[in-house]
Amino acid sequence: MIMIGIVFIFAFTMEKTKVGRYMYAIGGSIHASFLSGIKVNLYRIFGLMISGGLAAFTGCILASRLGSGQPTAGDSYLMDAIAAAYIGMTTIKTSRPNIIGTLIGVLFIGVIENGLVLIGVSYFFQYIAKGVIIILAVALSSRGSMVVEK
């Protein structure tokens, strides 16, 4: 429930508010955003503060699940996060990261990972499967951006 609430709050913020539009503009081109009058440093610091707050919240949840705080506890989630973002870009076909697409990517990666565990696939082959998924998602998202540019 917490994740769904956070997703909808940030999806609304990024798509419907001035702050979200400025964030997308800064992500597209810092120099062009600065020249158009956006306070780039202010919004970059704001974005880093939000990211740090969410990372701290997630770290607290992970530490409570593990029963202790370990600095390398979240390393295994990095590949999943990258795959989810690229899958989200390809499913909604925006060729840019977005919140709802990333949620779809997270759900897809979760289903794939749980399916591989249930059928008894080795841990190392699960990484290979995730790598193939990332390669396909990057190829499809770059192909989509080439079509948009033409």
Last residue of a domain, one of 71, 98, 117: 71
Residue 143 has what pLDDT?
A: 66
104 is in which domain, residue-wise? Answer: 74-150
- Whether 67 and 82 share a structural domain: no
- Whether 79 and 140 share a structural domain: yes
Q: How far apart are CA 83 and CA 141, in angstroms?
A: 12
Q: How many domains does the chain have?
A: 2
Last residue of a domain, one of 71, 87, 109: 71
- Whether 27 and 42 share a structural domain: yes
Last residue of a domain, one of 19, 53, 71: 71
Q: How far apart are CA 56 and CA 100, in angstroms?
A: 22
Task: Using alpha carbons, select from 58, 52, 47, 38 the residue that is nearest to residue 14.
Answer: 47
pLDDT in tens, 91-129: 776 667 788 888 988 999 999 999 999 999 888 898 898
- Whether 51 and 78 share a structural domain: no
Mean pLDDT (the chain) is 86
